[in-house]
Structure formats: C-alpha cells, structure tokens
Amino acid sequence: MRPDYAAHLIELGAFVSRGHAGGRYRMQLFTNAVGKKAWQTGTHALPAGALFAAAHTEDGRPGPLLVMQKRAAGYDPGHGDWYYAVADGAARRVLRQGRLPDCAACHSMSPTDYVFLRGSSALQSR
C-alpha cells in the first residue's frame, strides 16, 4: 500500500533493506521526477532537487521514514551536499534532519554520489 505522503512520488521498488537495521525492515522506495531521471540514466552526479524516500515496514507495521535530498552545491560540500531526514512512519513528525553525519558516513560507501539506487538497471549494467 502507498502511504499518503507518497501520493505525488514515483515508486521505484520494494525489497528487504540491507542497509538499515540489519534486514529488519521491508523498504518501499520512492522518488520525484528529478530522481527518476537519475535512476534511469545511472548518473554519477545527481542533480540538486533529487529526492529519495525510503518507507519501512516491519511485519506490516510502519517503521521509520528515511529521506534524502540533493541540495545546491555548498550545502554540505564535504559530503556530497545531501540533506537527510528521519520521520515517523506516518510522516507526521520529523525526528532528525539536516546534515546527518551517521547517514552520510554509510551512504559515502555507495557507488554513486551517496545513493545506492538499488534495483536501477542503468547502474547494474555498468
């Protein structure tokens, strides 16, 4: 089922998350139009505005909503200029947001500009 907040987002896929909380959650991955283009082309430098939202569920119950958005150059130059946010499952309360170093530390290991884009065939064919 698609959460209310994702009504205007594009769904990219759903799978058991490998990165977050050791396989506890099923992740549904959403993006906006800018992110969808990067997903299709497999670009290594994502354009500002690209947004990804990872909705998690555990046994059908909502878990955290994790969001990242590429900001303009200079927002966080040492870490790819990504903004991160953690919200509750219904996206009513933002628990943490901004230049979150714990998110950036692990996402820096991704093959492409801090995003993993799991399931993107453009990236996998490289």
Runs of H (alpha helix) within the chain: 33-41, 101-107, 121-124
19 touching ligand HEC, by CB under 6 A: yes
List, in sequence order, every residue forming a beta bridge with 14; answer none if it has no partner: 28
Nearer of residues 73 and 102 to ligand HEC, judged by Cβ: 102
Q: CB 61 → ligand HEC: shortest distance, Å?
A: 18
82 touching ligand HEC, by CB under 6 A: no
CB 83 within 8 A of CB 69: yes
Out of 102, 111, 121, 124, which residue is the one contacting ligand HEC (CB under 6 A)? 102
